[in-house]
Structure 1
Amino acid sequence: MQGLTDASGCFASIEKVNDPSIRFRPVVVLSNNDGCIVAICPIAKKLGIPKFQPYFKVKWLLQKHKVVIRSSNYELYGDISDKMMAVIARFSDNTYQYSIDEAFSKFVNYEGIIKDWYKYGHEIRRAVWRETRMPVGVGFGHTLTLAKAANHASKKLPDSDGVAVIDDDYSRKHILEQMKLDDIWGIGRKLGQKLSLLGLKTGYDLANRSPKSMRQQFGVTVERTVEELNGVKCLSWDDVKSPKKEIFSTRSHGQRIVNYHDLRKALTSHAVKVCNKVRLQHSLIKKLYIFASSSPHDERYVKKGIMYDFPLATDNVCFVASAIEQVLHALYVEGLPYYRCGVGAIELESRDFQQQDLFLSRENPALMNCYSQINQKFGRGSLQLGSESRQEKWAMRREFLSPRWTTRWSDIPKIFC
């Protein structure tokens, strides 16, 4: 049996964990630079607050319903997510964190022990709520796609109560008949529109199609989805948790950048974030894409990007920062107000199978290991490059930022008795 546990309105729910004063009020969370609504709590959903809408367009509606507005507090979200995942991991043989708010669970040695998966799902929900105060939905199925469908049913279908199980044909049909095509994992909006031209309307319609005919028309991914919806395991654990082939760090700036050195600091900070993510998945960077642009709404819109090839794939932040220094003169335009910039590792290699070069000196991995260990022990940013900025004037705008209750000493909650 496979399971999927997913938080309900994750970011908005996390905002309520350490602030009881807003626990029973509608809450929305905004994206970077307070641009769009990216998370809505269940109470706000009932008020008809739209998701993914620009904040300035719905500001009047939020004020009308006295909705609590929060900026994205990524430090807090990451910490609460780690605690939630630790609780979920206790209930299965193996757990894989698929995203910040959802985790797959594999049950191998539990099959003969658990008699009622529905009851077991509620045990998981109660444990997560008791220890983290996070509401979650739990779904079980014999394949990863069915587990994903069950999780969707646990939170979205009219008769849902937080747990759903697909363990026979009746439950499979009952749930898939109520799911739209683009609600199925692996079927996006555009692909759903193409499938609808064949007369398909629900997930159950898709499950009844011939897998081979689906492969001929739409490729192997849709074929696997159809097989998985019928209980045939096609996606393995390794398919879900395979390393990323590209890693990017980009951001719009709270204040426009007009200075050469400020742009270098911003790009270097993005490069460091990319290197940290690359090391976590034991990869090395072969090609680096560096770009910067003004706003598309400006009278003069300029976007420039440069590709940098490393002679030997690396995860060394010093080498990556040096690459930015080498190309920045060709990227920078005097007097241009830069609105957005970023760095992307677009060609990654495995650290375990790297082909060395006879004529290039090999890197010392102990240096980067020491760098990572110091920042892990004393906090991110404890050890920085000289070309990074400690005071980010170009950092994103977060006017509604809540305290970082669990990750900053000055923000620890105070209780007055």
Structure 2
Amino acid sequence: MYCLVDAVAFYASAEKVFDPAIRSKPVVVLTNNDGCICAICPIARRLNIPKFQPYFKVKHLLAKHKVVIRSSNYELYADLSDKMMNVISRFCDTQHVYSIDEAFLQFNGFTPLINDWHQYGQLIRRTVWRETKLPVGVGFGPTPTLAKAANHAAKKLNGFNGIAVIDSEQARQHILAAMDVADVWGVGKRLAKKLKLLNINSALDLAKQTPKRMKRLFSVVLERTVNELNGIVCLNWDDVRQDKREIFSTRSFGERLTDPVALKTALINHSIIVARKLRQQRSLTKRLLLFVASSPHESHYYKKSLVYELPVSSADSRVFAKAISEIFTQLYQHNVRFYKCGVGALELSSQQFQQPDLFAPSQDNIKLMECLDSINKRYGYDTLTLASQQQSQAWHMKRAFLSPQYTTRWQHLPKISCDL
């Protein structure tokens, strides 16, 4: 049996964890630079607030209903995600973290100990709530895709109340018949449109198709999906989530930049993020892609990208920062109001399988990077930084509604006042 545990409106729910005063109020969370709505709590969803709408378009609607607005607090979300995953891991012998707010569980040795899957799901939900104050949906199924479908039913379909179990043919058909084909894991809206032209409208309609026909008409991926919907396990953890083949860090600025120091600082910070992500999945890169751009709505649009070839594959933050300094003058142009920049790592390779070069020794200091990462993980990102990361603060994104970073900054620790 497989299980998918998924937080309900994770960003919005995370904002309520350390602020009990807003737990019964509608809450929305905005994207980078407070641009669009990216998360809506269940209470706010009843107000028909549209998701992914620009904030300025729905500003008056939010004010009318006294909706609490928050900027994206990524530091808080990452820490709460770690806590939630640690709690969930106690309920299975195999866990696969799929994203920041969802994880697959597999019960090999646990299965004989579980008499009632629905009751076990209740235990998972209660424990996660008690220890993290995050609401989650729990779905059980004989394959990862059916577990994902059960999780969808637990959160979106009437009558399930946060837990759904597909452990019989009747339960499978009931849930799949109530699901739109676009809600099937791995299908999406674009493929769903093509399927609906073939009169395949629900998840059950898709499950009734011949796998070989779906492979011939679409892809081997859809063939596997059909088999999984019929209880045949086709996916393993490597299929579910492989190491990334490219890693990017990009972001638009809170305000237009003309200062070369601020732009260079932004690029260096993006390169540090890329280096950290490379180390997390034990990868190295030989090529860095750097780009800068003004807004396409400017009268003189400017965009330029360059590829920097590293002498030796690397994941060292210092090597990346030095590369930015060497190539920056080729990217920067005077009198341009820069709107966005980014750094990407291309042609990734495993850190484990590297052939050293006798004539070009690696400049990476693995122990130093491990020390850097461990300190920042314990005390919060950017506790320890390179000097070149702090040259300017002008490039930071706009977060006018940012809540405190309760778990990663000492000065933001919750304060409790007791009246004697």
1:377 Cα deviation from its structure 2 partner: 4.6
Q: Contact 2:75–2:381 at 8 Å: present in 1 too?
A: no
Which residue does 1:366 correspond to in 2? 367
SS in 2 for 1:119: helix
Aligned equivalents of 1:271 and 1:9: distance in 2?
A: 30
Which residue does 1:274 correspond to in 2? 274
Residue by residue, what CA displacement relative to the aligned partner does 1:225-247 show, whole Å, maximum 9, x if unpaired?
A: 11111111111022223211111
1:379 Cα deviation from its structure 2 partner: 3.9
Which residue does 2:396 correspond to in 1? 395
SS in 2 for 1:112: helix
Which residue does 1:331 correspond to in 2? 331
Q: In the alignment, residue 7 of structure 1 is paired with which amino acid?
A: A
Aligned equivalents of 1:73 and 1:390: distance in 2?
A: 23
Which residue does 2:410 correspond to in 1? 409
Q: Contact 2:13–2:135 at 8 Å: present in 1 too?
A: yes
Q: Contact 1:266–1:389 at 8 Å: present in 2 too?
A: no
Aligned equivalents of 1:331 and 1:312: distance in 2?
A: 23
Residue by residue, what CA displacement relative to the aligned partner does 1:205-236 show, whole Å, maximum 9, x if unpaired?
A: 11111111111111111111111111111110
Aligned equivalents of 1:339 and 1:221: distance in 2?
A: 38
1:99 Cα deviation from its structure 2 partner: 1.0
Which residue does 2:254 correspond to in 1? 254
Aligned equivalents of 1:366 and 1:412: distance in 2?
A: 31
1:371 Cα deviation from its structure 2 partner: 3.3
Aligned equivalents of 1:396 and 1:174: distance in 2?
A: 46
Worse overlay, 16-25 or 404-413: 404-413
Q: Contact 2:262–2:392 at 8 Å: present in 1 too?
A: no
1:153 Cα deviation from its structure 2 partner: 0.4
Which residue does 2:211 correspond to in 1? 211
Q: Contact 2:314–2:362 at 8 Å: present in 1 too?
A: no
Aligned equivalents of 2:84 and 2:378: distance in 1?
A: 21
Q: Which runs of 4+ in 1 moved over 4 A?
A: none
Aligned equivalents of 1:251 and 1:97: distance in 2?
A: 25
SS in 2 for 1:177: helix
Which residue does 1:227 correspond to in 2? 227
Which residue does 2:387 correspond to in 1? 386
Which residue does 1:17 correspond to in 2? 17
Aligned equivalents of 2:375 and 2:61: distance in 1?
A: 46
Worse overlay, 11-20 or 350-359: 350-359
Task: Report the RMSD for the aligned CA atoms in angstroms.
Answer: 1.4
1:122 Cα deviation from its structure 2 partner: 0.7
Q: Contact 2:5–2:151 at 8 Å: present in 1 too?
A: yes
Aligned equivalents of 1:204 and 1:355: distance in 2?
A: 50
What's the TM-score once normalised by structure 2's chain length?
Answer: 0.96
**1:131-280 equivalent positions in 2, closer than 5 A:** 131-280=131-280
1:391 Cα deviation from its structure 2 partner: 4.9
Q: Contact 2:125–2:135 at 8 Å: present in 1 too?
A: yes
Aligned equivalents of 1:124 and 1:66: distance in 2?
A: 33
SS in 1 for 2:113: coil
Which residue does 1:112 correspond to in 2? 112
SS in 2 for 1:307: strand
Which residue does 1:318 correspond to in 2? 318
Q: Contact 2:78–2:100 at 8 Å: present in 1 too?
A: yes
1:355 Cα deviation from its structure 2 partner: 2.6
SS in 2 for 1:62: helix
Which residue does 2:309 correspond to in 1? 309
Unaligned runs of 5+ in 1: none
SS in 2 for 1:335: coil
Worse overlay, 324-333 or 368-377: 368-377
SS in 1 for 2:77: helix
Q: In the alignment, residue 223 of structure 2 is paired with which amino acid?
A: E
Q: In the alignment, residue 238 of structure 1 is paired with which amino acid?
A: D
Aligned equivalents of 1:162 and 1:104: distance in 2?
A: 16
**Percent of pairs with identical residues:** 55
The number of residue pairs the alignment matches comes to 417
Aligned equivalents of 1:191 and 1:209: distance in 2?
A: 15
SS in 1 for 2:213: helix
What's the TM-score once normalised by structure 1's chain length?
Answer: 0.97
1:309 Cα deviation from its structure 2 partner: 2.0
Which residue does 1:47 correspond to in 2? 47
**1:79-90 equivalent positions in 2, closer than 5 A:** 79-90=79-90
Aligned equivalents of 1:318 and 1:50: distance in 2?
A: 43
Q: In the alignment, residue 169 of structure 1 is paired with which amino acid?
A: E
Matched, 1:31 2:31: yes
Residue by residue, what CA displacement relative to the aligned partner does 1:248-277 show, whole Å, maximum 9, x if unpaired?
A: 111111121112221111000000000001
Q: In the alignment, residue 372 of structure 2 is paired with which amino acid?
A: Y
Matched, 1:124 2:130: no
Which residue does 2:300 correspond to in 1? 300
Which residue does 1:58 correspond to in 2? 58
Aligned equivalents of 1:393 and 1:266: distance in 2?
A: 9
Aligned equivalents of 1:347 and 1:45: distance in 2?
A: 42
Aligned equivalents of 2:280 and 2:105: distance in 1?
A: 21
SS in 1 for 2:403: coil
SS in 2 for 1:90: helix
